[in-house]
C-alpha cells in the first residue's frame, strides 16, 4: 500500500501502474505457507479476492474520474439526440399516413390531466364548503379532506 | 519438486490438484441441469397476501396470517418506484414482512404497479398527495386506526418522509430503511453521475417519456461492476451444488432482473429537485402548492442505514434525524449492503426482531 500511495502523485502514477502496484502489494500481503492442498486452496482464494478488491477499487476510481464522466455525458447526449431524431422522423411518417403519433396521445393526456385537475379542485372546494357547513351544524371536528386530491379507487 | 515449487508460487497447481480441480469442475457441470431446474422452479414471496384496494395501477396488499393480531396500529410498507416490492418478502427466512406479520401487526404493502407510456406525466404530487394519501386513508378506514406506522424503503422512504411532513396527523411511527433525504454529499458515485453537469434529466424524459428500466438497471449494476458482473458468478460456480444457495441466488436474480420503468415526470422531479438541488432537507421542496417541511414530523422515528450501502450511503440518510421535529428518534447503522439490509441472514436474525420491538413499544395494543 505504501508504494501505491507514493506513486499516486509520482511519475509512474498512470492508472494501470497504480492498479498493478496495488494488486501486487495486496497479493504479496496475502500470507501463504502451502503445506497442504487445503491451505493452498485458501491462499489462492485470498489472492483472487485481493485481485478483485484491487480491480474493484480501480474501477471505482475510473467510474468517478473526469474522463468517464465526460464520456458518459457525450454518449448520453448523442444517444438522446439520435432517439429524438428517430422520434421526430416517426412522428412525421405517422402524420403523413394520417395516423396519430406519440405527441398526439401526449396532448390528449395533458388535456385529460388538466380536466381532472379542474374537476378535483372543484370537488375539493365543494368538500371544504360541506365540511364548513357540517362543522357549523355540529360541534364535532370536521373530517379533514381539504388540501389534497381525493381518489376513489376500488375496494376489493 | 512438486512440493517445493508451489511454496514459492502458490498459484501453480500440482498434477494431483489439477486432477482434483478437473473432478470438481466435472461434478459441477453434472449438477448444471439441477441448477437450471431450481432456476425454473424458484418462487418469490413468502407470505400470502390479498389485494384489498386498487387505484389506477397500484395495489394495496394485505398480508394474510393465522397469527392473532396484537396491535391495532397497522403497518404500511412503502417501496421505491424502482423494482418490485416483493424484495421485502423474498423468501422464507429472508422476509422483513414476515417478522411484522408473525409479531401480530396488521401489515400492508403498497405495490405501485408498472407505469406505461400513458403514465409519463404522473408527478410527485400524484404519487404522494394522491396515491399514497389515498392508500393511507384506506388503511386507516379499514383498520379503524387514526394513525398508522409506515416503513419506507429507499426512494419509498424518501417519499414516506415527504408524506409524513405533509400529513403528520396520520402517522404513528415512521421507519426509514436506507432512505436518502440529504444529497449534499456529492462524492458518492451516483451523485457524480446524476450531477446536473453530466445528466440532463429534462432531455431524457422529453425523449423517452418514462425512465427506462434498462437504464436504471444498467446504472445500478455499473456502480459496483466487479461485484455484480464478476464476483457474483464466481460465487455461483463455487456453490453450484448447494441447493439452498441456488434457491436464494435465483430468487435474488429474479428480483434484480424484474425491473420496471419509473413514471417520467416523477423521476424528473425526484432527480432534479432532490438529487441535484437537494431541496428536501433544506425545506424548499414543493409538492403541489405545499412546502415539505420535515420539522413538522413529530412522530417517533427509526432510521435504518447500512454501513456498506453503495446506493444510499448512511450520510444521505442520517441527517434526517436532525431535520425532524420528533424527540423520539433513533438510528441504527447495520453492517450490511443496500439489499442485505432487507434480505441478509444477519439482518433477519438480529436487526428485524429489534425493529419489531421498537415498533411494538410504540404501537397501540389490539
Closest CA to B149 of B216, B73, B213: B73
Q: Which residues 248-287 of chain B have a CB within 8 Å of chain A?
A: none
A55, B335, B341 from B306: Cα distances, Å: 23, 6, 6
Q: So what's the pLDDT on residue A7? A: 42
pLDDT given for residue A149 in this prediction: 54
| Model confidence at A40: pLDDT above 70 | no
| % of chain B beyond a pLDDT of 90 | 75
Residue B47, SS3 per DSSP:
coil
pLDDT of B279 reads: 96
Find the mean pLDDT for residues A31-45.
Answer: 63
Confidence of residue B178 (pLDDT cuts 50, 70, 90): very high
pLDDT at B293 over 90: yes
pLDDT, tens only, B322-356? 999 999 999 999 999 999 999 999 999 999 999 99
The mean of the pLDDT values for chain A is 78
Residues above pLDDT 70, as percent of chain B: 97
**What is chain A's length?**
156
Of B111, B154, B248, B274, the catalytic one is B154
What pLDDT was estimated at residue A35? 52
- d(C-alpha B205, C-alpha B221), whole Å: 21
Q: Enumerate the domain spans of chain A.
A: 2-61, 65-97, 100-138
Catalytic, B154? Answer: yes
Exposure of B149 in the CB half-sphere (CA atoms within 13 A): 25
Q: Which positions in chain B touch A149 (Cβ < 8 Å)?
A: 125-126, 129-130
Indicate the pLDDT class of residue A6, thresholds 50, 70 and 90. Answer: very low
DSSP-based three-state secondary structure for B287: strand
Give contacts of A44 with chain B, Cβ < 8 Å: 10-11
Q: Pick the range with the lowest mean pLDDT from B34-43, B72-81, B169-178, B329-338.
A: B34-43
Of A40-49, B137-146, B282-291, the one with minimum mean pLDDT is A40-49
Backbone angles phi, psi at B335, to 5 degrees: -70, 90
Contacts of A87 in chain B (CB under 8 A): 207
Domains of chain B, first to last: 49-361 (3.40.50.1820)
Contact B120, B205 (CB under 8 A): yes
- Please name the member of B133, B193, B203 whose beta carbon is closest to the beta carbon of A80: B203
* ipTM of predicted complex: 0.80
Mean pLDDT of chain B: 92
Q: How far apart are CA A106 and CA B116, in angstroms?
A: 12
Q: Which residues is B60 bridged to in the sheet?
A: B53, B110
Cell of B113: 404497479
Residue B261 is predicted with a pLDDT of 95
pLDDT tens-digit map of B147-165: 999 999 999 999 999 999 9
pTM: 0.83
What's the pLDDT tens digit per position in A42-99? 777 888 888 999 999 999 999 999 999 999 999 999 999 999 999 999 999 999 999 9
Amino acid at each position: 500500500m505504501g508504494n501505491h500511495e507514493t506513486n499516486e502523485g509520482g511519475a509512474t502514477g498512470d492508472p494501470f501502474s497504480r492498479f498493478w502496484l496495488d494488486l501486487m502489494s495486496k497479493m504479496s500481503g496475502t500470507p501463504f505457507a502451502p503445506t497442504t492442498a487445503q491451505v493452498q486452496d485458501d491462499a489462492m482464494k485470498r489472492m483472487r479476492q485481493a485481485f478483485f478488491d484491487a480491480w474493484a477499487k480501480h474501477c471505482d476510481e475510473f467510474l468517478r474520474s473526469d474522463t468517464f464522466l465526460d464520456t458518459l455525458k457525450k454518449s448520453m447526449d448523442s444517444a438522446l439526440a439520435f432517439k429524438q431524431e428517430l422520434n421526430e422522423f416517426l412522428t412525421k411518417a405517422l402524420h403523413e399516413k394520417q395516423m396519430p403519433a406519440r405527441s398526439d396521445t401526449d396532448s390528449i393526456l395533458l388535456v385529460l390531466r388538466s380536466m381532472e385537475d379542474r374537476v378535483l379542485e372543484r370537488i375539493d372546494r365543494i368538500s371544504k364548503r360541506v365540511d364548513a357547513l357540517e362543522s357549523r351544524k355540529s360541534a364535532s371536528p370536521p373530517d379533514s379532506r381539504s388540501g389534497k386530491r381525493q381518489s376513489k379507487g376500488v375496494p376489493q | 519438486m512438486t512440493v517445493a515449487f508451489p511454496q514459492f508460487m502458490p498459484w501453480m497447481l500440482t498434477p494431483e490438484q489439477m486432477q482434483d480441480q478437473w473432478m470438481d469442475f466435472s461434478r459441477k457441470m453434472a449438477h448444471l441441469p439441477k441448477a437450471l431446474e431450481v432456476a425454473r422452479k424458484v418462487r418469490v414471496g413468502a407470505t400470502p397476501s390479498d389485494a384489498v384496494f386498487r387505484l389506477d395501477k397500484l395495489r394495496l396488499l394485505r398480508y394474510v396470517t393465522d397469527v392473532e393480531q396484537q396491535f391495532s396500529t397497522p403497518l404500511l410498507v412503502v417501496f421505491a418506484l424502482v423494482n418490485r416490492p416483493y424484495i421485502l418478502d423474498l423468501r422464507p427466512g429472508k422476509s422483513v414482512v414476515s417478522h411484522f406479520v408473525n409479531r401480530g401487526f396488521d401489515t400492508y404493502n403498497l405495490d405501485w404497479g408498472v407505469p406505461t407510456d400513458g403514465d409519463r406525466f404522473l408527478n410527485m404530487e400524484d404519487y404522494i398527495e394522491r396515491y399514497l394519501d389515498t392508500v393511507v386513508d384506506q388503511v386507516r378506514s379499514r383498520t379503524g386506526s387514526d394513525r398508522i406506522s409506515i416503513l419506507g424503503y429507499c426512494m419509498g422512504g424518501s417519499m414516506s418522509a415527504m408524506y409524513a411532513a405533509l400529513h403528520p396527523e396520520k402517522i404513528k411511527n415512521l421507519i426509514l430503511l436506507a432512505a436518502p433525504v440529504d444529497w449534499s454529499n456529492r462524492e458518492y458515485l451516483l451523485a457524480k453521475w446524476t450531477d446536473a453537469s453530466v445528466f440532463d434529466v429534462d432531455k431524457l424524459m422529453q425523449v423517452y417519456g418514462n425512465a427506462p428500466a434498462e437504464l436504471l438497471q444498467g446504472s445500478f449494476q455499473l456502480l459496483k461492476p466487479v461485484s455484480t458482473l464478476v464476483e457474483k458468478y464466481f460465487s455461483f460456480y463455487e456453490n453450484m451444488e448447494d441447493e439452498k444457495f441456488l434457491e436464494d441466488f435465483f430468487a435474488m436474480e429474479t428480483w434484480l432482473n424484474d425491473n420496471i420503468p419509473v413514471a417520467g415526470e416523477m423521476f424528473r422531479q425526484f432527480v432534479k429537485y432532490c438529487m441535484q438541488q437537494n431541496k428536501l432537507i433544506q425545506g424548499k421542496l414543493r409538492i403541489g402548492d405545499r412546502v415539505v417541511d420535515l420539522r413538522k414530523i413529530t412522530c417517533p422515528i427509526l432510521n435504518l442505514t447500512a454501513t456498506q450501502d453503495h446506493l444510499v450511503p448512511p450520510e444521505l440518510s442520517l441527517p434526517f434525524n436532525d431535520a425532524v421535529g420528533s424527540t423520539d428518534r433513533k438510528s441504527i447503522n447495520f453492517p450490511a449492503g443496500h439489499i442485505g439490509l432487507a434480505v441478509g441472514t444477519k439482518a433477519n436474525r438480529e436487526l428485524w426482531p429489534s425493529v419489531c420491538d421498537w415498533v411494538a413499544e410504540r404501537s397501540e395494543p389490539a
